Amino acid sequence: MIAGILFDKDGTLFDFNATWGDWTEGLLHELASGDPSRAGRLASVLGYDTAQRRFAPDSIVVAHTPDEVAAALLPHLPGHSPATLVARMNVLAAQAPQVPAFPLGPLLADLRARGLKLGVATNDAEEAARAHLASQGVTGLFDFVAGFDSGYGGKPHPGMLLAFADRYGLDPAQVVMVGDSLHDLIAGRAAGMRRIAVLTGLATEAELGPLAEAVLPDIGHLPDWLDTLAA
Instruction: For each of the domains in the chain, give its residue range(s) and CATH number, in order of start.
Output: 4-15+99-230 (3.40.50.1000), 17-95 (no CATH)
Q: How confident is the model at residue 222 (pLDDT cuts 50, 70, 90)?
A: very high
Q: What is the pLDDT of residues 22-64, one digit of tens each?
A: 889 889 999 998 888 999 999 999 999 999 888 998 899 988 8
Q: Are 61 and 48 in contact (CB under 8 A)?
A: yes
Which comes out higher in pLDDT, residue 79 or 210? Answer: 210
**3-class DSSP state of 6:** strand
Neighbours of 102 (CB within 10 A): 18
User: Could you tell me whether strands 117-121 and 54-55 are parallel, antiparallel, or unpaired per DSSP bridges?
Assistant: unpaired
**What distances in angstroms separate CA 100 from CA 24, 136, 137, 217, one per listed residue?**
18, 8, 12, 14
Query: How far is the first Cα of the chain from the last one, in angstroms, to the nearest whole number?
Result: 11
Q: What is the mean pLDDT of the chain?
A: 94
